[in-house]
Chain A
Amino acid sequence: AQKVTQAQTEISVVEKEDVTLDCVYETRDTTYYLFWYKQPPSGELVFLIRRNSFDEQNEISGRYSWNFQKSTSSFNFTITASQVVDSAVYFCALSDAGTYKYIFGTGTRLKVLA
């Protein structure tokens, strides 16, 4: 069965601190996709990244970076030098290749304090 676990319900940091959001997934498939979405207070989910299971290279985009490790079934997300605008709920999701169904984690609420 597929499952995505985001054990951190809520994290608070002070502006400029680095923060890592954890995501652990379960799937029996060898080909799958992992995603991170941001949900700001406005409610609209914003796509951040997609990673397929064959690409374990870490990715960096500005202050965002992602660490994909198949050995531990984790796809963690780090925000460097956090800003107040980063405050949102962040969702990790899993989709097996060939399907369109996303399995979402329960989300991590990040609060960045000025």
Chain B
Amino acid sequence: GAGVSQSPSNKVTEKGKDVELRCDPISGHTALYWYRQRLGQGLEFLIYFQGNSAPDKSGLPSDRFSAERTGESVSTLTIQRTQQEDSAVYLCASSHIDRTYEQYFGPGTRLTVT
């Protein structure tokens, strides 16, 4: 497909377990972003990848959160020892290097921690 894809679309996990969320950006988009959207809230920036540069991790809420990206392709967001407050929709976006102000979003992964 032409858009940003994310998997899984829904994830239910028990408190304390680790989860991995995946994002496939639009082909040719070198910039990739992760956001968190809590129920009824706006989006919170988590992390930004741009090509081979060091990622901007300033939005990660704790050291239980980490993300990786190989080159300019797929990214995974990992949450270790999940807590109930981690329940949210995790959105991924990508943009072209020359148009980082125009981000295209995926459908998100709804994470529920029980």
- Within 8 Å by CB of B100, from A4, A100, A105, lies A100
Shortest CB distance B41–A (Å): 6
Q: Are B42 and A101 closer than 8 Å at their CB atoms?
A: no
- With a cutoff of 8 Å between Cβ atoms, the chain B residues found around residue A42 in the complex are 107
Closest to B41 in A: A106
Shortest CB distance B97–A (Å): 10
Q: Are B42 and A105 closer than 8 Å at their CB atoms?
A: yes
A95 interfacial by beta-carbon distance below 8 Å? yes
- With a cutoff of 8 Å between Cβ atoms, the chain B residues found around residue A37 in the complex are 105
Q: Are A50 and B106 closer than 8 Å at their CB atoms?
A: no
Secondary structure type dominating chain A contacts: loop
In the bound complex, CA of A72 to CA of B95 (Å): 30
- With a cutoff of 8 Å between Cβ atoms, the chain B residues found around residue A44 in the complex are 3, 105-108
B77 interfacial by beta-carbon distance below 8 Å? no
Which parts of B99-114 form the interface with A (CB within 8 Å)?
A: 100-108, 110
Interface 0/1 of A1-40, CB less than 8 Å to B: 0001000000000000000000000000000010001000
Which parts of A87-108 form the interface with B (CB within 8 Å)?
A: 91, 93, 95, 97, 100-102, 104-107
